[in-house]
Amino acid sequence: MGRTAKYATLKTYQPFIDAIRKDLKIPDTMIIDLRFADLRGRRSGDATTHSKTYSKVRVSKHLSHNEILRVLMHELRHVWQYTSGTMESKVEKIKRGYSYKKVWNNTVYDDYGMKTRTHYNKYYTSPWEVDARAYADKLFTLFPGGKVKAVQSRKLVGVVGGVKFYKIAS
């Protein structure tokens, strides 16, 4: 797995997040609540988009730097899928509870999650996961050597709780 990133913090990864947002053209109106969490097991990250203006992204803090970048790219791709309208979630009331669905390019799929090995296999091959993994494969194109390209300039847009927030200049 490689060495764990020593400082998996928002401050450290904000320039990478800004570069991914710019690459994906995620609107500035989308608030991304990013947290480095103590995720264990198979899960290295997850994204939950609550509306067209708010998403919560969690990334395991027990990953190497390049793995964190790959997970950030993967999870922010899911945010883009929702903001672009490529994917949406759908909940249907059924006799005993609810049925969860995903709509991908106007095609409805069951939202299997990862309850069993069979569910995991269906989840893994779902079009939104295939798309997110393909985007994350651009890791070294977007971040040669695991670094933000030096030609990108940053502009400080604010400070909250001692954390500086930057925007990548166009």
| Domain membership flag for residue 122 | no
Task: Show the tokens assigned to 69.
Answer: 């970048």
pLDDT by residue (tens digit) across 53-98? Answer: 899 999 998 889 999 999 999 999 999 999 999 998 888 777 887 7
pLDDT by residue (tens digit) across 27-36? Answer: 988 999 999 8
Q: How far apart are the first and last CA of the chain?
A: 35
* Number of domains present in the structure of the chain: 1
Q: Tell me the whole-structure pTM to 2 decimals.
A: 0.79
| Domain membership flag for residue 32 | yes
| Domain membership flag for residue 19 | yes
Residue 26 CA to chain centroid, in angstroms? 11
Whether the per-residue pLDDT at 7 is higher than 50: the answer is yes
127 or 113: which leads in pLDDT = 127
The CATH number that applies at residue 80 is 3.30.2010
Average pLDDT, the chain: 83
- List the domain range (segments joined by +) for residue 51: 10-84+131-168
| Domain membership flag for residue 105 | no
16 or 109: which leads in pLDDT = 16
| Domain membership flag for residue 123 | no
pLDDT by residue (tens digit) across 150-170? Answer: 545 667 777 777 777 777 665
| Domain membership flag for residue 142 | yes
pLDDT at 137: 93
Whether the per-residue pLDDT at 111 is higher than 80: the answer is no
pLDDT at 1: 46
| Domain membership flag for residue 100 | no
pLDDT at 42: 62
Whether the per-residue pLDDT at 25 is higher than 60: the answer is yes
Phi, psi at 33, each rounded to 5°: -90, 95
- What distance in Å separates the CA atoms of residue 59 and residue 36, rounded to the nearest whole number? 5
- What distance in Å separates the CA atoms of residue 19 and residue 166, rounded to the nearest whole number? 10
| Domain membership flag for residue 93 | no
